[in-house]
Structure 1
Amino acid sequence: MERLNVTAIEPKFKHPTIFQYFDALKAGESFIIENDHDPKPLYYELIAERGDIFTWEYLLKGPELFEVQIAKNPTNQNGGEVAGTISIKDIKKAEMLKDKGVQFNCRTEKYNLADDPNAGKVTKAPTYDSDKWELDFLIDYIVNTHHQYIKDNAENLNDLTIKVAEHHGDSHGELNRLSTLMYHFLQDLLDNTAREEEVLFPVIKQIVAKKRNADTEITYKIGSLQEPIDLLKKDHEIAAADLSFFRTLTNDYTLPADACSSYQYLFQKIKEFETDLKTHIQLENNILFQKAIQLDAELAKLN
């Protein structure tokens, strides 16, 4: 059994390295991590990012050395993972921490991951009116929130879809098609975000700057924004149609009786991805693009 001395790893690489070790495990295999403090934050991050597909066992609990054996759940006769043993309370807590944007770093003094007195409590989300934001600020928000979400989740979602299809595709053939379509869906989204960030968004920022200061130099042809925006909106229509088809293909993400924890986690992650993408598209189509075209038309009238 492999051992990983976490104390020898540069802090920013600790959790990514542990995830690499975990993802490389085959069903039923395990490894041991050694650390100089309780790695409890890692436990919640594993739940939040991988779901109930592992076991966590303390072999040594300090005070100077902590040893934890992390095992990937074994498979059953159908090739699916055996249901995990993680408590519902811990799963909900991990989801809550992720929703709050908590960084799952060890040695954090700002937030006690293990003993949060507010764990499980429902708090009212802050409200904002993005329709009142300046367009350059809205662009930065979209890039840092929704585009980054796609970049952070696309590879893992694709890998998870492939994994579930490999385990359950023989008895649930729709998963094989879902796996193929998911790859193309995610690649198209990544291409769309790249075109927006590299071409359209810089142009819109030029328009905003020109509106504020007429002497600002611009490098695009004023009055030409409608066509590229129409092409990007077409990408959005295709993405929405893909999401609709995924729901049809999976019977609105209805889980079969033999669904393992990875199968359940896959459907949860796709629905989460769908929710974020719908918000993302609404911000671009109904606010950013409309206002950018309006500003572009105003500048065209001045020339």
Structure 2
Amino acid sequence: MAKNPAEETKEEAKPEPKETLDVTKIEPKFKHPTIFQHFDALNPGESFIIDNDHDPKPLYYELLAERGNIFTWEYLQKGPEWYKVLIAKNPAEKQTAKGAIPEKDVKKAELLKEKGVKFGCSDSGSNSAKSDDFDEWELDELADYIVEKHHQYIKDNAEALNGLAIKVSEHHGTDHPELHRVATQTHHFLQDLLDHIANEEGVLFPVIKQGLAKRRNPEEKTTYEVGTLDLPIRVLLKDHEIANEDLNLIRRITHNFTPPKNACNSFSFLYGKLKEFEADLNEHFRLENDYLFPKALELDRQLTEV
């Protein structure tokens, strides 16, 4: 006998989340352990919501690495000031089946765990791996890590940060005219940075992977001339210098990202996000300047001797 629509709707309805957890009120070192406790306390099919002031994507990968593909992750709100995520434990019958998590994310979580990446939240919202590990990483792993962590951070935050700078400038620029300069400088800085990472992903990183494949198998063909990586890498290093100069100017205009005492929440949040963005970019450039680029140049030199 066919079920009536009311019965189907009742069966398919999801239970209400057990609670909402405001992560901003938890001391940074206890944030992820507390969230894990709440997740582990869920019965299959149950869920809870977390509220945070930055994208909790590192938590997503830690949960995936430590608990496996047994949950769903749904953004209910995605910035610019607040992120709200619904985390649900899969029903019992789906615990051993493939969940809704993309396979590429499962593999990434496994790689990050294998490499000893620290997932935990810091005050800036940025996370880093042990620096002494990077010399041991293969070039393709390091390039992928930079793209998936730091390039993705830029892509996830650039539009919202630009919009926030414009919004704060429009609302408070009369009393704080420096905000107009902050908005203009932020716009150009972010646009140049997006062009920069597009160049890396579209040109340099694929070339590096070609060189690595050729080192592993000399029969492999390359679409670039071996021994010519020095020029494009020098161009990218110059981009890094310009980006740092732009950020230093923004830092000076904002008095080291210090809002005035009477600043509203949006005003203070803008300066906090600029500071967070700077912290992530510093780590991003450090990985490329100190590890990826030198290792790529050494690989290119080796290939000229084959």
Normalised-by-shorter TM-score class: 0.5 to 0.7
Structure 1 residue corresponding to 2:274, chosen from 258, 270, 275: 270
Which of structure 1's runs of 4+ aligned residues deviate more than 6 A? 119-122
Structure 1 residue 109 and structure 2 residue 89: aligned? yes
Q: What code does the residue aligned with 1:264 have? A: S
After superposition, the C-alpha distances for 1:127-182 in whole angstroms (9 at most, x for unaligned) are 46122100000011001000000000000000000011111111111110110010
Alignment correspondent of 2:255 = 251
Counterpart residue number, 2:156: 152
Q: What is the aligned counterpart of 1:189 among 180, 189, 193?
A: 193
What SS does the aligned partner of 2:86 have? coil
The equivalent residue for 2:16 is 37
Query: Aligned residue for 2:167?
Result: 163
Structure 1, unaligned stretches of length 5 or more?
Answer: 1-7, 9-34, 48-89, 111-118
Q: CA RMSD in A?
A: 3.3
Is 1:94–2:52 an aligned residue pair?
Answer: yes
Task: Please tell me whether the aligned partners of residues 96 and 120 of structure 1 are also in contact (alpha carbons under 8 angstroms).
Answer: no
Q: Deviations over 1:72-112 (max 9, x none)?
A: xxxxxxxxxxxxxxxxxx99x735992752445435127xx
In structure 2, do the counterparts of structure 1 residues 120 and 191 end up closer, same or farther at CA, with 3 Å as the change threshold? closer
1:258-291 deviation per Cα after TM superposition (whole angstroms, max 9, x unaligned) = 2000011111111110000000001111110111
Q: Select which of 226, 229, 237 maps to 2:241.
A: 237
If the length of structure 1 is used for normalisation, what is the TM-score? Answer: 0.64
- Letter of the aligned partner of 1:267 in structure 2? Y
Match of 2:106 in 1: none
Q: 2: CA distance between counterparts of 1:171 and 1:163?
A: 14
The 2-side partners of 1:45 and 1:194 are apart by: 33
Partners in 1 of 2:23 and 2:121 — Cα distance? 16
Among candidates 281, 298, 303, match of residue 299 of structure 1: 303
Q: How many residues get paired?
A: 216
Contact 1:39 1:106 in 2 (8 A): no
CA distance in 2, matches of 1:134, 1:251: 40
Q: 1:157 to 1:222 in 2, by over 3 A?
A: same
Letter in 2 for 1:269: K
Give 3-state SS (helix, strand or coil) of 1:108's partner: strand
Whether the 8 Å contact between 1:223 and 1:300 is mirrored in structure 2 is yes
User: Aligned-pair distance for 1:249?
Assistant: 0.6
Equivalent position of 1:135 in the other structure: 139
**What letter corresponds to residue 264 of structure 2 in structure 1?**
C
In structure 2, C-alpha distance between the alignment counterparts of 1:265 and 1:177, rounded to whole Å: 17
